[in-house]
Structure 1
Amino acid sequence: MNVIEAVITGLGATTPLGGDAKATWAGLLAGQSGITRLQEERFRPLPVRVAGRMAVDPATLMNPVEARRLDRASQAAVVAAREAWRDAGLDISDADPDRVAVVMGTGIGGVTTLLDNHSTLGAHGHRRVSPRLIQMNMPNGSGAAVSIDLGARGGVTTPVSACASGAEAIAHALDLIRLDRADIVIAGGTEACVLPLTIAGFSQARAMSVNDEPHRASRPFDKNRDGFVLSEGSAVLILERASSAAARARRPYATLAGAHMTSDAHDMVAPDPTVTGQIRAIRGALLDGDLHPGDISHVNAHATSTPVGDALEAQAIASVFGSTPVVSATKSMTGHLIGASGALEALATVLAVHHDVALPTPTLDDPDDNLAIDVTRAEPRRTTISAAVSNSFGFGGHNVALAFRKA
Structure 2
Amino acid sequence: MDNRVVVTGMGAITPIGNDVLEFWKNAKEGVIGIEAIGDKIIGNDKVKVIAPIKNFDVSNRLNAKECSRLDPYSTFALYAAEEAIQNSKLDLESIDRDRFGVIVGSGVGGFNTLEEVINKLKKTDSVRLSPLTIPKLIINMAAGNIAIKYGARGESKSVVTACATSTHSVGDAYRLLKHGYLDICITGGSESAITSLALGGFTALTALNTTDNPERASIPFDKERNGFVMGEGAGILILETLESAQKRGAYIYAEIVGYSSTTDAYHITAPMPDGKMSAKAMQNVLDEAGISYDQVDYINAHGTSTKMNDAVETIAIKEVFKEHAYNLKISSTKSMTGHLLGASGAVEAIACVKSCEEDFIHPTASYLVKDEECDLNYVPNKGIKKEVNYAMSNSLGFGGHNAVLLFKKWRG
Q: TM-score w.r.t. structure 1 length?
A: 0.97
Segment of structure 1 superposing worse, 143-152 or 262-271: 143-152
The root-mean-square deviation of aligned C-alpha atoms, in Å, is 1.4
> 1:14 maps to which residue?
13
> 2:310 maps to which residue?
310
Amino acid at match of 1:253: Y
CA contact (8 A) 2:297 2:389 kept: yes
**C-alpha deviation, 1:126, in angstroms:** 4.6
Determine whether 1:386 maps to 2:393. Answer: no
- CA distance, structure 1, for counterparts of residue 195 and residue 330 of structure 2: 31
> 1:404 maps to which residue?
407
**C-alpha deviation, 1:55, in angstroms:** 2.0
Amino acid at match of 2:81: A
> 1:112 maps to which residue?
112
> 1:33 maps to which residue?
32
> 1:23 maps to which residue?
22
> 1:319 maps to which residue?
319
SS class of match (2:391): strand
CA contact (8 A) 1:43 1:49 kept: no
Amino acid at match of 1:228: F
**C-alpha deviation, 1:179, in angstroms:** 2.0
Segment of structure 1 superposing worse, 121-130 or 88-97: 121-130
> 2:334 maps to which residue?
331
Match of 1:354 among 357, 372, 376: 357
Amino acid at match of 1:163: C
Amino acid at match of 1:20: D
**C-alpha deviation, 1:127, in angstroms:** 4.5
**C-alpha deviation, 1:181, in angstroms:** 1.1
CA contact (8 A) 2:330 2:379 kept: yes
CA contact (8 A) 2:300 2:348 kept: yes
**C-alpha deviation, 1:123, in angstroms:** 2.2
5+ unaligned residues in a row in structure 1: which ranges? none
**C-alpha deviation, 1:4, in angstroms:** 3.5
Determine whether 1:377 maps to 2:376. Answer: no
Change in CA separation of 1:60 and 1:271 when aligned onto 2, cut-off 3 Å? same
Amino acid at match of 1:345: E
Q: State the identity %.
A: 36
Determine whether 1:279 maps to 2:282. Answer: no
Segment of structure 1 superposing worse, 157-166 or 363-372: 363-372
SS class of match (1:134): helix
**C-alpha deviation, 1:121, in angstroms:** 2.4
- CA distance, structure 2, for counterparts of residue 173 and residue 41 of structure 1: 36
Count of residue correspondences: 406
**C-alpha deviation, 1:42, in angstroms:** 3.7
> 1:223 maps to which residue?
223
> 1:76 maps to which residue?
76
Change in CA separation of 1:227 and 1:370 when aligned onto 2, cut-off 3 Å? closer
SS class of match (1:128): coil
CA contact (8 A) 1:3 1:290 kept: no
SS class of match (2:257): strand
- CA distance, structure 2, for counterparts of residue 303 and residue 49 of structure 1: 20
- CA distance, structure 2, for counterparts of residue 351 and residue 389 of structure 1: 12
**C-alpha deviation, 1:5, in angstroms:** 2.4
> 1:290 maps to which residue?
290
SS class of match (2:312): helix
Superposed, which structure 2 residues align to 1:57-76 within 5 Å? 57=56, 59-61=58-60, 62-76=62-76
Change in CA separation of 1:72 and 1:359 when aligned onto 2, cut-off 3 Å? same
**C-alpha deviation, 1:3, in angstroms:** 5.8
Q: TM-score w.r.t. structure 2 length?
A: 0.96
Amino acid at match of 2:369: D
Please list the CA deviations of residues 362-406 of structure 1 after superposition, one character each: whole Å capped at 9, or x if unmatched: 211112115342110111111111101000000000000100001
Change in CA separation of 1:41 and 1:34 when aligned onto 2, cut-off 3 Å? closer
Change in CA separation of 1:257 and 1:41 when aligned onto 2, cut-off 3 Å? closer
- CA distance, structure 2, for counterparts of residue 235 and residue 57 of structure 1: 15
**C-alpha deviation, 1:26, in angstroms:** 0.9
Moved over 4 A (4+): 124-127
Amino acid at match of 1:73: Y
Amino acid at match of 1:53: P
Change in CA separation of 1:58 and 1:400 when aligned onto 2, cut-off 3 Å? farther
Amino acid at match of 1:262: T
Segment of structure 1 superposing worse, 262-271 or 214-223: 214-223
- CA distance, structure 1, for counterparts of residue 123 and residue 79 of structure 2: 32
Superposed, which structure 2 residues align to 1:133-148 within 5 Å? 133-148=133-148
> 2:348 maps to which residue?
345
> 2:368 maps to which residue?
365
- CA distance, structure 2, for counterparts of residue 32 and residue 180 of structure 1: 40
CA contact (8 A) 2:71 2:112 kept: yes
> 1:268 maps to which residue?
268
- CA distance, structure 2, for counterparts of residue 372 and residue 123 of structure 1: 53
